[in-house]
Amino acid sequence: SSSHAFSFRPSVGASGGLLTLWDTSEVEVWSTESRDHVLWCRGRFVKSGEEFLLANVYAPCDDGAKQVLWDSLSMRIQASGRERVCVCGDFNAFTWFRGDGLSMSRLDRFLLSEEWCLTWPNCKQVARLRGLSDHCPLVLSANEEDWGPRPSRMLKCWRDVPGYKVFVKDKWNSFQVDGWGGYVIKEKLKMIKVALKDWHNAHVQNLPSRIESLKERMSVLDQKGEEEDLSGLELAELHGVTANIHSLSRLHTSISWQQSRSMWLKEGDANSKFFHSVLAGRRRQNAISVIQEGGVTVEGVSPIRQAVFSHFESHFKSSVVERPGVDNLQFKRLSQLESGSLTKPFTELEVKSAVWDCDSFKSPGPDGINFGFIKDFWAELRGDVMR
């Protein structure tokens, strides 16, 4: 078909052939290279413009030849620097099935570089039915599935942004909600989340692009300073730009650290690329892309949602069951003083102690309000919490 193109490496006897086929409306390939056991393709995705390097591998069986192959692959990948690299094919050492039905192994798989995973953090690998082949066909996809709005989370770095605490205090005290205590605190927390989302978009959003813009301005001032003396205003601007870069970089690193949940690293170990890698890995690991329901494979957002809903609906249906009664049975009873101690209200000291015993980054419920937020604004929340 004219809408497809391909590159191939001929087989040696009955094995070893390689074929890479692509849709020219989706992928532009500008170079291919055939090497021993490897077919390299370099190109880009048409819609996004993202470039990539693909290695289609048919590994040899001989141990010595395998070592040579992997050494050459390692050298090529290291030389590629920060390119998006995908290595795929028959590695002859890693989804394989022996014909006698006695041996099965997860052998073939996609090997992706860190840059690839950072560019497409939602990519996933799925094995299809193997048919007559002794290998299962594998599909690598990076479709952005819409599971609806993501829950918002409180960020530790917010407290470092000037005006944050004043904003929260003023907003919280301005909310007017009538009702019983639990309803009031619930509604106020919902309202503060909406307000903080807008505040976040105005103060903390798009940090990488803002940092890059400041760096460009710093470069302009540095170049001018090499040619002539900067004026007082320009020197003040340069100092301000430098301070802003440091401030925004700290915020960006703090956000990446918190989202990655790498609690075993100190926050000061500022490797935001590493944190992004951990975050991308967590998203892939937690993603629900395929489930089995009654022996049937279910894929896609809507079918999976319906399958999960039906599963729990069937488990939580109420049914009329004849239960034995407890009439005319004698039980030990608590005294009035003892029963009263079980129902007396919690004191503020007890509630505060329970809150302070919890990790500040943990959220007690699905609303995303963590204990750190409650601790920071206990003076404002205390009255509504104790109602």
Give the integer Cα–Cα distance in Å for 196 and 168.
8
Report the first-to-last Cα separation within the chain, whole angstroms: 71
Give the integer Cα–Cα distance in Å for 197 and 365.
18
CB distance 224 to 230 below 8 Å:
yes
Q: CA 374 from chain center: how many Å?
A: 25
∠ CA 87-92-93, nearest 5°, is: 90
User: Is residue 372 scored above 80 in pLDDT?
Assistant: yes
In sequence order, what are the residues at sequence separation of 6 or more whose Cβ sits closer than 8 angstroms to the Cβ of residue 259? 153, 275, 279
Q: Point out the least confidently predicted range of 199-203, 221-225, 263-267.
A: 263-267
Q: Point out the least confidently predicted range of 175-184, 204-213, 239-248.
A: 204-213
Tokens 């900067």, residue located: 230
Q: CA 78 from chain center: how many Å?
A: 26
Q: Are strands 38-45 and 27-35 parallel, antiparallel or unpaired?
A: antiparallel
Tokens 């920071």, residue located: 376
CATH architecture assigned to 4-141? 4-Layer Sandwich (3.60)
User: Rounded to two decimals, what is the model's pTM?
Assistant: 0.53
Instruction: Name which of 42, 37, 147 is nearest 93 in CA terms.
Output: 37
pLDDT band at 321 (very low <50, low <70, confident <90, very high): confident
**What is the model's pLDDT at position 129?**
67
Instruction: State the CB neighbour count (10 A cutoff) for residue 248.
Output: 17
Please tell me the number of Cα atoms within 13 Å of 134 on its side-chain side: 14
Domain residues of the chain, as ranges?
Answer: 4-141, 153-161+204-314, 164-201+333-387
pLDDT band at 93 (very low <50, low <70, confident <90, very high): very low
Give the integer Cα–Cα distance in Å for 110 and 141.
11
Give one word for 179, left, alpha or beta, with left for phi > 0 and alpha for psi -120 to 50: left
**What is the model's pLDDT at position 165?**
92
Give the integer Cα–Cα distance in Å for 134 and 31.
31
∠ CA 97-87-13, nearest 5°, is: 60
- The pLDDT of 58-66, averaged and rounded, is 82
User: Is residue 222 scored above 60 in pLDDT?
Assistant: yes
Q: At what angle do helices 181-203 and 164-174 cross, to 10 degrees?
A: 140
CB distance 100 to 123 below 8 Å:
no
Mean pLDDT across the chain? 80
pLDDT band at 331 (very low <50, low <70, confident <90, very high): confident
- The pLDDT of 228-238, averaged and rounded, is 86
CB distance 143 to 79 below 8 Å:
no
- Residue 300 phi/psi, 5-degree rounding, is 95, 150
**CA separation (Å) from 116 to 121, 207, 280, 363?**
8, 22, 11, 32
Instruction: State the CB neighbour count (10 A cutoff) for residue 89.
Output: 22
| DSSP H or E segment with residue 6 | strand 4-9
